[in-house]
């Protein structure tokens, strides 16, 4: 059994056909310039799985390629040690935050639904004891600052607040994961 490559990307609906064209280029030509460099060298695949889901007003494009050769990079996710309810919450938060962070990185405000979901889930998360309680107060304040910046419509302030949330999240996850 070989390794696998996983890739996911948020797209607008009008970009989906282009993603499939670029994927076809990689499969036919090994085209590095396609923007899908992570898939380079996967011509020797044994299985390809593609998923497209609507999430927070955008499309989440996922591809998983199982390779026959051992040269593919393996990408594993998941943490089986946390209770299922908390794990589900964190997975949902990861998805919404990824879209928020990606959108802001592209210079556009994230969808309302993603922001509302993330803020609501953040409030639920800090109710779980034993998962970084020492950081909850700082995280709650940063989440409120982010929500306020988003509501103001100020892109720069929203980006700054999001970066602060990311810093706090990274610091806490490095310590408690």
Residue-wise pLDDT tens digits, 79-118: 333 333 788 888 889 999 999 999 999 999 999 999 999 9
Answer yes or no: is 79 within a domain: no
Q: What are the C-alpha distances in Å from 172 to residues 5, 79, 165?
A: 28, 16, 11
91 and 63, same structural domain?
Answer: no
Per the structure, the complete domain to which residue 99 belongs is given by 84-176
95 and 34, same structural domain?
Answer: no
**DSSP structure class, residue 82:** S
Measured in whole angstroms, how far is the alpha carbon of residue 135 from the centre of its chain?
22
Phi, psi torsion values for 7, nearest 5 degrees: -140, 140
Answer yes or no: is 75 within a domain: no
Separation between Cα atoms, residue 110 and residue 48, nearest integer Å:
30
151 and 110, same structural domain?
Answer: yes
Separation between Cα atoms, residue 71 and residue 126, nearest integer Å:
41
Answer yes or no: is 111 within a domain: yes
56 and 112, same structural domain?
Answer: no
138 and 88, same structural domain?
Answer: yes
Please, what is the Cα angle at 161 between 127 and 124, to 5 degrees? 15
Answer yes or no: is 142 within a domain: yes
Whether 48 and 65 have beta carbons less than 8 Å apart is answered as yes
In this structure, what token pair is assigned to residue 123? Answer: 């409030």
103 and 46, same structural domain?
Answer: no
Average pLDDT on 142-166 reads: 96
Q: Does the pLDDT at position 156 exceed 80?
A: yes
């Amino acid at each position: 059994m070989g390794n696998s490559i996983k890739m996911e990307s948020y797209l607008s609906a009008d970009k989906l056909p282009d993603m499939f064209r670029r994927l076809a280029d990689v499969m036919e030509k090994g085209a590095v310039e396609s923007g899908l460099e992570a898939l380079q060298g996967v011509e020797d695949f044994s299985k390809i799985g593609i998923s497209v889901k609507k999430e927070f007003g955008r499309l989440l494009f996922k591809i998983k390629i199982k390779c026959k050769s051992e040269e593919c990079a393996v990408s594993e996710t998941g943490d089986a040690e946390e209770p299922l309810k908390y794990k589900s919450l964190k997975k949902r938060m990861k998805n919404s935050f990824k879209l928020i962070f990606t959108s802001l990185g592209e210079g556009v405000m994230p969808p309302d639904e993603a922001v509302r979901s993330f803020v609501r889930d953040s409030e639920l998360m800090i109710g779980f004891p034993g998962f970084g309680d020492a950081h909850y107060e700082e995280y709650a304040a940063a989440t409120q600052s982010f929500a306020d910046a988003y509501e103001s419509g100020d892109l720069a302030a929203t980006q700054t607040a999001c970066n602060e949330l990311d810093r706090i999240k990274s610091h806490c996850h490095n310590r408690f994961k």
